[in-house]
């Protein structure tokens, strides 16, 4: 399998500024709204101007072409926001969840920048991991309570009948709990499924999984989708076996691993009925996922 190129899939139409910045009270969503549309592409630039004027010599002289100017501006804007997205993306992969939470709390508008860029990148992936997870949930029990850790645009909550706790760093949607997901306000042993879809970003990612372990009921599912290259030892990534082993040591069994997608790997774990956390767990470092410049 060729090493994956990060870029792609996705979708998230992201929230507007000014959302709840602090951790909210528990809330859940079980709406069935259609998935949010993709971020709108930049407006098409107008065709090059054909207007010409005569100068003193009587010769036709081209006026500045407004269409070209605006298309150049569009390109420059796209390039700048792409660069800004990549900077924020790198930041999220190289700081702790708490630092990321504080960072976006100081300027929630940056979160929109991040998610617009993320959506653009994801639109190039042949398959969206979040859709695979949504379909998996749909084929199981609608009475299961779900926690979507790092929910993004809360696509899971919008597309399944289950009760879903959507969790992310910033929210202006009352159904999304804004917090660092290492410390959620969910009760212990209260959910049947914990999802991490491309969201194990912080340097302290094991603490997110520990939190999922806390809130999951015995026998509950832990579903993880991660970017393939982060778990590709031939490419500087972590060994997926070591990653699974660490989660098994946390008290889970690996039920299945889905490697068939080009861009991501899916893991399905279940919390053991009598789970016990190993004294010391050797967590592999997950390398940052750096998206291609487009």
Residues that bind ligand SAH (CB under 6 A): 12, 92, 97, 100, 118, 129-130, 150-152, 155, 167-169, 180-181, 197-199, 201-202
Closer of 199 and 244 to ligand SAH (Cβ): 199
Q: Is 198 or 212 the residue whose CB approaches ligand SAH more closely?
A: 198
**Among candidates 248, 5, 15, 260, which has minimal Cα distance to 129?**
260
- Distance of closest approach, residue 169 Cβ to ligand SAH, in angstroms: 4
Name the residue nearer to ligand SAH (CB basis): 130 or 186.
130
Whole-number minimum distance, CB 279 to ligand SAH, in Å?
A: 25
- Only one residue has tokens 């972590």, namely 238
Between CA 7 and CA 165 the distance in angstroms is: 27
Shortest Å distance, C-beta 248 to ligand SAH: 23
Question: Which single residue is written with the structure tokens 């399905």?
Answer: 268
Helix or strand or coil: residue 215?
helix
Q: How far is the CB of 291 from ligand SAH (least distance, A)?
A: 11
Instruction: Scan for tokens 């630039």, then name that residue.
Output: 45
What's the closest the beta carbon of residue 56 comes to ligand SAH, in angstroms?
Answer: 60
- Residue 7 C-alpha from the chain's centroid: 12
Burial of 137 (0-12, 13-18, 19+ CB in 10 A): buried
Q: 31-58 burial string, b = 16+ CB within 10 Å, else e?
A: eeeebbeebeeeeebeeeeeeeeeeeee
Nearer CB in complex with ligand SAH: 195/247: 195
Residues 6+ apart with CB under 8 A from 59: none
Smallest distance, ligand SAH to C-beta of residue 241, A: 24
Dump the DSSP string for 169-217.
Answer: S-BSSTTEEES-TTS-SPPTT-EEEEEEES---STTHHHHHHHHHHHEE
Beta carbon nearer to ligand SAH, 22 or 59: 22
Between 118 and 165, name the residue whose CB sits nearer to ligand SAH: 118
């Amino acid at each position: 399998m060729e090493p994956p190129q990060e870029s792609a899939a996705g979708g998230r139409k992201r929230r507007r500024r000014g959302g709840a910045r602090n951790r909210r009270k528990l809330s859940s969503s079980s709406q069935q709204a259609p998935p949010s549309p993709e971020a709108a592409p930049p407006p098409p630039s107008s065709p090059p101007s054909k207007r010409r004027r005569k100068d003193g010599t009587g010769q036709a002289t081209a006026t500045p072409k407004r269409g070209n100017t605006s298309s150049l501006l569009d390109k420059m804007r796209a390039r700048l926001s792409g660069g800004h997205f990549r900077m924020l993306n790198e930041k999220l992969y190289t700081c702790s969840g708490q630092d990321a939470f504080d960072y976006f709390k100081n300027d929630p508008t940056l979160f929109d920048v991040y998610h617009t860029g993320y959506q653009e990148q994801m639109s190039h992936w042949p398959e969206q991991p979040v859709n695979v997870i949504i379909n998996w949930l749909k084929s199981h029990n609608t009475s299961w309570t779900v926690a979507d850790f790092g929910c993004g645009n809360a696509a899971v909550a919008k597309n399944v009948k289950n009760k879903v706790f959507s969790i992310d760093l910033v929210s202006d949607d009352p159904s999304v709990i804004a917090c660092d997901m290492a410390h959620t306000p969910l009760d212990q042993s209260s959910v049947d499924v914990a999802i991490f879809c491309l969201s194990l970003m912080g340097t302290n990612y094991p603490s997110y999984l520990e939190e999922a372990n806390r809130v999951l009921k015995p026998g509950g599912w832990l579903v993880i989708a991660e970017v393939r290259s982060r778990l590709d030892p031939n490419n500087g990534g972590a060994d997926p076996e070591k990653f699974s082993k660490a989660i098994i040591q946390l008290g889970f069994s690996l039920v299945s691993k889905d490697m068939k997608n080009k861009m991501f790997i899916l893991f399905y774990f279940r919390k053991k009925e009598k789970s016990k956390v190993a004294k010391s767990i050797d967590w592999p470092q997950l390398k940052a996922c750096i998206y291609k410049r487009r």
